[in-house]
Chain A
Amino acid sequence: MSLADDQTLGAAAARDEDEIRRARAARIEKIAKWALPVAIMALAIMGWGWIVRANEIPHYILPGPNLVWDSLVNDWAILIDAAYLTGWITLLALLLAVVGGAGLAILFNQSKMLELSFYPYAVILQVTPVVSIAPLIFIYVDSKVAGMLLCAWLVAFFPVLSSTTLGLNSVDHNLRDLFRIYGATRWQRLRFLQLPSALPYFLGGLKIAGGLSLIGAVVAELVAGTGGIGSGLAFRIQEAGYRLNIARMFAALALVAAMGVFIFAALSFLSHLLLKNWHESAVAREK
């Protein structure tokens, strides 16, 4: 046997049973990650349809999945309009939450006195349920849109504020010393050191805020009712409920859920893009 043969044999032997098993497990897990949830959903919908048919449940109590699907198709024009409004409010509220939350965090970080003065009130705003503040807001705020934005903002800004504050304070102490030794200004320290250090924390808060701003928008719609500005998904759910159009309730609910999933996925993707080069959370490691 030649030396070359020896080496090829060695390479083949290096991929031992254990490695092959591990590679197979990784492949299966990759497929299962998508296939399993989809299969579960398909089974649940089939089970739901079977229960409705077997027990002859009337559609005004529990419609079958086919009716919900019909409603989704037939009422698409109404539903997409509603989704557009709810989505718009959610997005604007999230944007304001980012500006307000991160802005306040930076202000608090720059001035300890400001933080000591106002942080407790940020906490009070956060722990008071938005459902209980919303009716008051709509008494004093004439514009429905402004009121809804305010409600959604109130629930969404706090996670951004608290996580960004934590991030700004989590700077490596040696790096902080290094910046001092090189005579960095306050602005340079913020721009080149604290903001990049805070980015992973901020993005964590942003993911939570994304979900919360949708909740805030939905709650605000339920409280505000309709009023000349068109109606969002939450209002459509309520309205369909009054009319015993249960299928449309489910259809609108499915859209709200889809919107929440979309926001979460989009923010996760953004987070991955911003952190993939350097942050541990975004770096793929061997198992």
Chain B
Amino acid sequence: MAVHHHDTLPLGQRPPLLKLRHVDKVFSGDVVALKDMNLQVNQGDFISLLGPSGCGKSTALRIISDLMHPTRGRVDWEGGHGRGDLGVVFQEPTLMPWATVSQNVWLPFRLAGKSYGEVKDDVLEVLRLVGLEKFQNSYPRELSGGMKMRVSIARAIVTNPRLILMDEPFAALDEITRHKLNNDLLKLKAQIGCTVIFVTHSVFESVFLSDRIVVMAARPGRVLTELEVDAPYPRGEEFRTSAEYAAHARRASEALKEAMGEPA
């Protein structure tokens, strides 16, 4: 099997994967996008960064993915990191319109100098995991918004990365598709045991998906508090309607209200 399975240990027993230490980001014009952010990401975590716009959650992702250097502080990977350690899913599917589905998923390998023949099995396997093996020769314009997002997710996991960053990936989708993709994302995580940092401004999405919710506030962007969602996986529709879910959602909502500067 090309895509490896990592076992996910219970919260508190997971080995560290990377640490953000006192990370500041100041943009020109003295805009403080991120102030003294500390975060330890452990292997197997599903972390949601939850907060209002302008709280620096996307900036944090850009710093973790090396697209931006922090003004102060640093990002330490356990054992260093290299090409293919990171998978990214953006808010838009971000597919190459001139390439077929399988060519799009091949991209990370292609940029690492691997021919399609070498990695064909991996490409087809992740397409099967996201339920799109029949569409390998389709072009993106032939797919629905949800299907494009699945291709984007397949591309992010195909290199078997140590960490997957998702920047509000389902925000532009309709509610029904979004629920479906949330369920499927959890199934996928159970299958491959990946580590995820998921940016969202939806309380419900963060509670349903993650076991750690990092609540962030704006002006300046900073971490306000962290909540644990200790409900066991697998989580399905019955979790969405449980009292436990409602309690977690209430806690997260209150924290978010505080983050937005309103009294809880």
Q: List CB contacts (< 8 Å) of A169-183 with chain B.
A: 172, 174-175, 177-183
Contacting A196 at CB < 8 Å: which of B67, B94, B96, B140?
A: B96
CB of B65 closer than 8 Å to a CB of A: yes
Is A175's CB under 8 angstroms from B94's CB? yes
Given the known interface contacts A178-B88, A181-B86, A182-B83, the answer about A279 and B97 at a Cβ–Cβ threshold of 8 Å is yes
Does A192 contact B111, Cβ atoms closer than 8 Å? yes
Counting contact residues on chain A (CB < 8 A from B), the size range is 20 to 34
Residue B204 at the chain A interface, CB threshold 8 Å: no
Q: Which residues of A contact B86 (CB under 8 A)?
A: 181
- Which residues of chain A come closer than 8 Å to B99, judged between CB atoms? 196
The reply to whether A181 and B66 contact each other, CB–CB distance below 8 Å, is: yes
A residues less than 8 Å from B98 (CB atoms): 196, 199, 277-279
**Is the pair A278, B141 in contact by a Cβ cutoff of 8 Å?**
yes
The distance in angstroms between the C-alpha atoms of A196 and B141, with both chains bound, is 16
Write the A169-205 contact mask toward B (1 if CB under 8 angstroms, else 0): 0001011011111111000100011001001000000
Q: How far is the CA of A283 from the CA of B142 in the complex (A)?
A: 11
| Chain A residues whose C-beta falls within 8 Å of the C-beta of B67 in the assembled complex | 177, 180-181
Task: Please encode chain B, from 81 to 98, with 1 for each CB lying within 8 Å of some chain A CB and 0 for all others.
Answer: 001101010101010111
B51-89 vs A, Cβ < 8 Å mask (1 yes, 0 no): 000000000000001110000000000000001101010
The answer, yes or no, to whether B240 is at the interface (CB within 8 Å) is no
Q: Which residues of A contact B110 (CB under 8 A)?
A: 192
Most buried by A among B92, B98, B140: B98
A172 contact from B83, B94, B108, B112, Cβ within 8 A: B94
Cα separation A199 to B96 with both chains bound (whole Å) = 13
Given contact pairs A183-B83, A192-B111, A178 touches B94 in the complex (Cβ within 8 A): yes
Q: Which of B94, B96, B111, B139 contacts A183 (CB 8 A)?
A: B111
Asked if B107 is at the interface of the complex by the 8 Å CB criterion, the answer is yes
B97–A278 CB distance below 8 A: yes
A264 to B139, CA, bound (A): 28
Residues of A within 8 A of B65 (CB): 177, 181
Check A278/B108 contact, CB under 8 A, given A174-B94, A180-B67, A181-B66.
Answer: no
Residue of B nearest to A200 (CB): B98
Contact A182 B139 (CB under 8 A): no
Closest Cβ–Cβ distance, residue B205 to chain A (whole Å)? 21
- Chain A residues within CB distance 8 Å of chain B: 172, 174-175, 177-184, 188, 192-193, 196, 199, 277-280, 283
Q: Report B's interface with A, CB cutoff 8 A.
A: 65-67, 83-84, 86, 88, 90, 92, 94, 96-99, 107-108, 110-112, 139-141
Q: List 19 A-B contacts (CB under 8 A).
A: A174-B92, A174-B94, A177-B88, A178-B107, A180-B67, A181-B66, A181-B67, A181-B86, A182-B83, A182-B111, A182-B112, A183-B83, A183-B112, A193-B96, A196-B96, A196-B99, A199-B98, A278-B98, A278-B139
